[in-house]
Amino acid sequence: MKKLLLMLLLMLGNLWSFGQTITGKVINSENMTPMEYVSIGVVGMDIGTVSESEGTYHLTIGKEYDEEVLRFSYIGFEHFEIKVKDFRSRPNYNVELSPMAYELQEIIVTPNILGRKTLGHTGNSKTNTAGFGEYKLGFEHAVRMKLSKTEKAIIKKINLNIARCTFDSLHYRVNIYNIKGKKKITSILKKPIYVKFNKEEIKDEISFDLEDENIIVTGDFLVSLEHIKDLGDGEVAYSADNKQKTYVRKTSQGKWKIVKTGISISADVLIIK
């Protein structure tokens, strides 16, 4: 009997160490509609997820993170932050996000185009490839696009070279980040951008147009692809260059890490004055 009790206590201890699973819903405070694809996670940690259809999310957090900050964020909305232990004590785990207020200004952009460039990694090898084995909600992989500090550009098109894909489709959120040094990485988008590719479309180079988004960048920036669908078992492998680098993070609130292999993501830009 004592042995059985000890085994049960050990099992309960192990279950608790895995953390409490929190289930809730994210809602737009302006019209009370559910919000999918909201980034949710412990700031600076590899603990996080993305809200699914009807705004529902499931997040497992261990007690060791009680003093850390939990963040809910979505492009174009004010983010919500709370200490993990305080969030646990709430009567429910539903969260409302409020749209950001932007000053409306009439801007007519007639740039003087100085030239065109392709930035990033453009390889299309089917033998030298790289994948990350991570297809969880919120996982991101990105390539640094290099401009001089004085160069300004409009992003015209993003190109991908996927060597292998066993999934029926891929669903990504495209994120564009300003990058200064190794740590200061901030989003420059004011509304989210989503892309979806069926298996039949994943052939050689895939391109999607962003010119109508009027995204203007100055200096270096990151182009990131973030998983927003739970794909299950399978594989995505990009054409790769071992002399280049890729930025990755396991959750959308986690820390970026640099992998010493560059995957084939590039950007066609218009250099402007």
Q: How many C-beta neighbours within 10 Å does residue 57 have?
A: 23
Do 131 and 230 sit in the same domain of this protein?
A: yes
Instruction: Please compute the mean of the pLDDT values over residues 46-58 and round it to a whole number.
Output: 93
- Confidence (pLDDT) at 135: 83
Do 73 and 190 sit in the same domain of this protein?
A: no
Residue 104 is assigned to a structural domain of this protein: no
What total of structural domains would you count in the chain? 2
Residue 105 is assigned to a structural domain of this protein: no
Residue 78 is assigned to a structural domain of this protein: yes
Which among 63, 97, 131 is the end of a domain?
Answer: 97
CATH number (domain holding residue 25): 2.60.40.1120
Do 141 and 261 sit in the same domain of this protein?
A: yes
- Confidence (pLDDT) at 196: 93
d(CA 208, CA 226): 15
Instruction: Please compute the mean of the pLDDT values over residues 233-259 and round it to a whole number.
Output: 92
Residue of higher predicted confidence among 18 and 71: 71
Do 147 and 193 sit in the same domain of this protein?
A: yes
Query: Which tens digit of pLDDT belongs to each residue from 141-199?
Result: 999 999 998 899 999 999 999 998 999 889 999 999 999 876 689 999 999 999 999 88
pLDDT at 228 over 80: yes
pLDDT at 57 over 60: yes
- Confidence (pLDDT) at 11: 38
Of all residues in the chain, the percent with pLDDT exceeding 90 is: 70
Do 27 and 151 sit in the same domain of this protein?
A: no
Residue 68 is assigned to a structural domain of this protein: yes
Nearest residue to 84 via CA among 71, 98, 94? 71
DSSP secondary structure string for all residues of 192-244: -EEEEEEGGG-SSEEEEE-GGG--EEES-EEEEEEE-S---S--EEEEEETTS
> By residue range, what is the domain housing residue 69?
19-97
- Confidence (pLDDT) at 239: 95
Residue 128 is assigned to a structural domain of this protein: yes
Query: Which tens digit of pLDDT belongs to each residue from 23-35?
Result: 999 999 999 999 9
Computed over every residue of the chain, the mean pLDDT equals 87
Do 141 and 267 sit in the same domain of this protein?
A: yes
8 A C-beta contact, residue 40 and residue 57: yes
